Structure 1
């Protein structure tokens, strides 16, 4: 018998088609949905189901979806008969995945957690194995998938303190949903403790680390890398990556400080939300900085102080160019962003104090002298100026690369778990 809270949720979900369509229209009006693919959010498939066994991966957004691509690639090489479906819920993740998905892999938007939408989705795709990543648990999706007899795994699980408190509040319902997972691999001991408290048995859970450690570095256009490298002609530069509102002002002030001791210094500023590019350009220009916008096909000429990289899918390019990278979301109270990409590409890493989303890896990077914490614009500017000396940045970059390259076993463990639970008819 299902707990009362879960039963009430599912009862509402079974009769929520009208509500779901209204929510989708609101999201569409805010630019959060792809109008050409809105029907996918109601469970209408836009692609045929491939013949043969199908493994379904669900990832909430960009970081989670990119972390599973290496797993899918290697599974596909292991068994050429396997096909893969990846679902996400954001337009940005769909755009990035379209250029990076391995062979025999298709993308669809996840249906809203409305039972008729979910049943339509499952009826079409009929996955042989379902795999959730991190911590996005939709009750109707999990329940309906399990009730069809499809085994479900949870990989790369991570629960923040805030998320855990929300799950504790629904107690028995959380345990009922967790019981649907055949096995769980978690990123860290804190998440394991939360899940045990929620009722997940120890024998169904293993702490393996994060899949992001085993993810290959982001690709880049080699011809564009050569073009920009030639244009910059050894000009000193640094990157402020994945910045949020408020952090661009801090980075601008830091850049002014660092410029005083570093002739011709350039900052590449890659905002977390590229659509903010024009507004960031106007703000920086008002501060007297010479700004060029990547989305307007401008190049960082000799007079440029800040190059705003307001495009998608090019972080591999910026991290390869920059010997020093500040990873944003860490001076703003966001919780930090993925440091694995700059680490894998040999960039020394700077970050602010707010990194609780990736506390374990930042602690390891700091302990290995592969990253430095800064508190404000003054500290960021002084540290950037200091690290423009290769003798200071190169040892940090090497330490970051060495640490990031040690995570392949996390991917190995994920693949082994998937193969263990793949039904015999699919395997």
Structure 2
């Protein structure tokens, strides 16, 4: 039997085993514009809002109907899919994430409805060629366009049988987040005071990590004796005790709470805690995310904020907040992960060299600010198909 015949047989067997009635039939949104059926897998939930926003901004009359997520492959059958297609009559289908609603795709193609796949992350998938793989190849070949977030997914989906001419590397859909602002005159004043000094920011630092950060700063000063640390304690109540402790250790401290400026002799500038972060992100080419070594990070620190302002990010392995954003940065070599206090110190010593951090900071900026471009690239073939159908 040919590979194509094997694929069709595999699909038939999958659909035959599928339970009936698994696709609900919601009412289509009112309006006269084209209807897009949207299916969002569990691994792409965070991408749905930016993509929908882009589609609706580009085509205000577009009606979008999102199907409830299924629990896995083979949970639909042809009867339910045909009933859905007959009632809803979509002009196109967009699948976000790698989860193939088999009968939906097959029924759509039988009705000449274009189907698009985006945000398909496939690093952990396999590309073997058994019966299921042949069926999967047939499904992939039925898609009008496949948009993947990274090179690993691109290589894998082509190995799995997708038509290379229909696969596009778009990059990941990233949250579009406006960075915190600051007073430009104040930023210019501080920049002149720094006068080319290396500076780094320890942001949202819990008390349990204060000594770890100070050890890392001493390592940085051994490489660049004029290095300056902007230290932002999580608890503003720690500002004065911190200043006393640092001065007792022989370090010269400036305090933002006293309107002090980082003079040439200053080793540490203690900020007003979580306030004015837009200023410190702009001044520090390196930012350490507090709490990520000790496992007590908070949602108050969003990694896209320093990333969008050109600051290279260093973090520990214990991130529990904004996990999707951390995964996007780490996957794009846009952040440096350190395992312990010793690695943090070594990294901060290494990051006193501007050329070392430039690549990471550039990647971070691309990830944190590239969300609009990626959503435009995903929306483009969908909108083109809708316009063609309505022409």
Unaligned 5+ segments in structure 2 are 181-200, 218-228, 240-274, 282-286, 296-301
Q: How does 1:271-420 map to 2 (within 5 A)?
A: 302=237, 324-325=288-289, 343-344=307-308, 348-351=312-315, 362=330, 365=333, 371-374=335-338, 376-379=339-342, 382=345, 399=362, 402-404=365-367, 405=369, 408-420=372-384
Corresponding residue for residue 8 of structure 1: 13
Are 2:84 and 1:79 equivalent residues in the alignment? Answer: no
The answer (yes or no) to whether the contact 1:187–1:209 under 8 Å persists in 2 is yes
Correspondences of 1:135-154 after superposition (within 5 Å): 135-154=98-117
CA contact (8 A) 1:59 1:133 kept: yes
Distance of 1:189 and 1:54 partners within structure 2: 31
Moved more, 400-409 or 131-140: 400-409
CA contact (8 A) 1:326 1:350 kept: no
1:101-152 CA deviation, whole Å, 9 max, x = no partner?
Answer: xxxxxxxx99983225545544443321111123222223322333333210
Query: CA offsets per residue over residues 360-390 of structure 1, 9 Å max, x none?
Result: 964754xxxx53231x232466479889x9x
1:28-427 mapped onto 2 (5 Å cutoff): 43-45=24-26, 48-52=28-32, 53-61=34-42, 64-87=44-67, 89=69, 113-115=75-77, 118-119=81-82, 121-160=84-123, 162-165=124-127, 170-206=132-168, 208-213=169-174, 215-217=175-177, 238=203, 257-258=212-213, 266=233, 302=237, 324-325=288-289, 343-344=307-308, 348-351=312-315, 362=330, 365=333, 371-374=335-338, 376-379=339-342, 382=345, 399=362, 402-404=365-367, 405=369, 408-422=372-386, 424-426=388-390
Change (3 A) 1:73 1:363: closer
SS at match of 1:171: helix
Corresponding residue SS for 2:31: coil
Alignment check: 8 A CA contact 1:56 1:129 kept? yes
Answer whether contact 2:202 2:213 (CA < 8 A) is retained: no
Equivalent-residue separation in structure 2 for 1:112 and 1:380 (angstroms): 46
Normalised by the length of structure 1, the TM-score is 0.53
Structure 1 stretches lacking a partner, 5+ long: 21-41, 91-108, 221-235, 241-250, 268-299, 305-316, 332-337
Aligned counterparts of 2:130 and 2:307: Cα–Cα separation in 1: 35
| CA apart distance, 1:181 | 0.2
Q: CA deviation at 1:51?
A: 2.2
Structure 1 residue 4, shift from structure 2 partner: 3.8
Rg bigger for which structure? Answer: 2
Q: Distance in 2 between matches of 1:189 and 1:344?
A: 23
Q: Structure 1 residue 187: deviation in Å?
A: 2.7
After TM superposition, give the deviation of residue 190 of structure 1 in Å. 2.9
What SS class does the counterpart of residue 238 from structure 1 fall into? strand
RMSD: 5.2
Higher relative contact order (CA 8 A, sep 6+): 2
SS of the aligned residue for 2:119 comes to strand
CA distance in 2, matches of 1:328, 1:184: 35
1:359 Cα deviation from its structure 2 partner: 8.6
How does the TM-score come out when normalised to structure 2? 0.57
Q: Report the Cα distance in structure 2 between the residues aligned to 1:186 and 1:194, rounded to whole angstroms.
A: 10
- For the Cα contact (< 8 Å) 2:55–2:379, is it kept in 1? yes
For the residues of structure 2 that align with 1:380 and 1:4, how far apart are their CA atoms?
Answer: 54
**Are the counterparts in 2 of residues 57 and 131 from structure 1 also a CA contact under 8 Å?**
yes
* SS state at 1:154 partner: strand
Residues paired across the two proteins, number: 300
Following the alignment from structure 1 to structure 2, what is the Cα–Cα distance between the partners of residues 89 and 57? 10
Residue aligned with 1:135, SS = coil
